[in-house]
Amino acid sequence: MCGWDSGDGGLAGFRWITVADGPARRDAVVRLEHGRNQLLVREDETFAAEAAAYAGKVAAELLDEYGLRPDDVAAVAAAPFDAAFIDELVPHIGVAPDRFVRPGSVPRFHTAGLIAAMSDVVSRPPAAGNDWVLLVAAGAGISAGAALLSR
């Protein structure tokens, strides 16, 4: 996914938005407990829905900019890599729910969530004529971004 290739694949486009004057719906702090670093993530109950709405808007605009329909997307890797956010994101983008990478029984991710989802995308065989991967992320602020990857 992150290497050089002589083919036409690679990152094709990006789109980003930051919500002006939006309250922090999610934040994280690192603390030391029992001699170990610990990352504590706090989010309010509206974060998943609000972040998914902005991330979905950015992703839909990016697909439109490239003349792509939701059916043209083979896979979606999203962060936060948790079911609550992904469930909220699905209807905003219109890509079939089974094309979203979902966390299994792995521990909850924070910073590495998108990388964990992308590793699943790499292991999926590309579908004929359907080689677009949509990367979608949202974080505190709320800031949201999307990128298109051609395999």
121 token code pair = 């995308």
Distance, in Å, from the CA atom of 62 to the CA atom of 46, rounded to the nearest integer, reads 25
Residue 2 within any structural domain of the chain:
no
Residue 100 within any structural domain of the chain:
yes
Task: Supply the pLDDT for residue 64.
Answer: 96
Domain that holds residue 92: 10-150
Confidence of residue 141 (pLDDT cuts 50, 70, 90): confident
CATH number for 14: 3.40.47.10
Contact by Cβ (8 Å): 28, 121: no
Residue 1 within any structural domain of the chain:
no
Residue 4 within any structural domain of the chain:
no
* pLDDT tens-digit readout, 83-135: 888 999 999 999 999 999 877 655 566 566 666 677 667 666 666 567 899 99
Residue 32 within any structural domain of the chain:
yes
* pLDDT tens-digit readout, 11-66: 788 999 988 776 566 666 788 888 888 777 777 788 889 899 999 999 999 999 99
Confidence of residue 151 (pLDDT cuts 50, 70, 90): confident
Residue 69 within any structural domain of the chain:
yes
Residue 5 within any structural domain of the chain:
no
> Does the reported pTM lie above 0.85?
no
Total structural domains within the chain? 1
Contact by Cβ (8 Å): 88, 54: no
Distance, in Å, from the CA atom of 70 to the CA atom of 141, rounded to the nearest integer, reads 27
Residue 3 within any structural domain of the chain:
no
Burial class (CB in 10 A: 0-12, 13-18, 19+), 146: buried
Tokens 């972040």 -> residue: 51
Burial class (CB in 10 A: 0-12, 13-18, 19+), 17: middle
